[in-house]
Structure 1
């Protein structure tokens, strides 16, 4: 069956946001007397939801604060950043999106995070017209690795799972896509390379490789 749509994760996939998230958490924890090492962030927190990270941090670092307070602070810091500056696109993302659009593929963003980051990316890069739908963690009860965001994207686009591919950078993301019956291509970033991508259809190094894969698939 031909490919009709591509569904892209946002943080860490379309945009190189993980280093930014690390430095945000680093500063927040420093206010509580905790030094967050990059290797700890990579091993424990990269690619996971803010609330999940906040819960773990409170327990791991013995913080005398409710995790909700920590998560709210992280969300506030993130929003302040997005009010003035979007996360940078990963290399060759724009070229892949332009190619897909020219080929008549439907495109969607499917993120377990809030919608604000996606909106900043699309607005800053002039990409709104390229995407048929945006599904975020704000739209569902259960975020990734639950399949809910992907199931909603399929419903909105009116397509079957067999007619599309998902593009993800984390183990949780691949799990969410495959649980929805969608074949998934993993393109890990520097901070998620250690994740288990055994459930992915294929693992690519970067978006240049995805461009080549799409040319072959659409050829």
Structure 2
């Protein structure tokens, strides 16, 4: 029986991807580099640190990684704070409340920085539902490396076999499966160019899930 649900955040709980995309592409413009849509798609699900490690090598950027991160983060924070049409993904709040009310442990494992997670969780009052929040910035490698999910599962009150992951990116699904955790792929309008074929189950709406359906998965 499933005891713990591990949620990705971007694209699963809240669609901050347009804000991230705006911030990244504005920063790419400032840096004078041309990042194609195909290359950008391969970066989704990675931490900002790992994104800029890849781009620094590919485009021979002079600035150090932390400077690049700080520049992008400043653009993101300004856009996030002034964007009025930022909402939770349709149906996810009802699912979170349903799972929480029935005693399911909820954990977030996101490639986003602690600062970004904190902004989202405070804006939408989500801390009350989650026992733990795990940020990708605490790990040397990003998804598809499984470490973030292995760590999240270690925080579960139940064994790893009683955990599931909900992800919307190719890298996230690969990370969950590499960690040996059952994975639900969320195939939404925001999951552009993402291959979720390795997921154990694929959904298109959160209305397809509830406590009764999740507890008996596997």
- TM (normalized to structure 2)? 0.83
Q: Cα gap change, 1:157/1:43 in structure 2, threshold over 3 Å: closer, same or farther?
A: closer
Does the 8 Å contact 2:50/2:141 carry over to 1?
Answer: no
1:30: which partner in 2? 29
2:127: which partner in 1? 128
2:11: which partner in 1? 12
Q: How many correspondences in the alignment? A: 214
Q: 2:73 aligns with which of 72, 75, 78?
A: 75
Superposed CA RMSD? 2.7
1:54: which partner in 2? 52
Using the alignment, how far apart are the partners of 1:47 and 1:95 within structure 2? 24
Shift of 1:41: 6.1
Instruction: Please state whether the residue corresponding to 1:47 is helix, strand or coil.
Output: coil
Does the 8 Å contact 1:47/1:192 carry over to 2?
Answer: no
Does the 8 Å contact 2:12/2:167 carry over to 1?
Answer: yes
Written as runs of structure 1 = structure 2, the 5 A alignment for 1:152-163 is 152-163=151-162
Unaligned runs of 5+ residues in structure 1 are none
Using the alignment, how far apart are the partners of 1:170 and 1:18 within structure 2? 11
Using the alignment, how far apart are the partners of 2:193 and 2:61 within structure 1? 31
Instruction: Please state whether the residue corresponding to 1:157 is helix, strand or coil.
Output: coil
Shift of 1:72: 2.9
1:166: which partner in 2? 165
Structure 1, 100-109 or 180-189: larger mean CA deviation? 180-189
Structure 1, 91-100 or 183-192: larger mean CA deviation? 183-192
Unaligned runs of 5+ residues in structure 2 are none
2:213: which partner in 1? 216
Bigger relative contact order, structure 1 or 2, given CA contacts below 8 A and separation 6+? 2
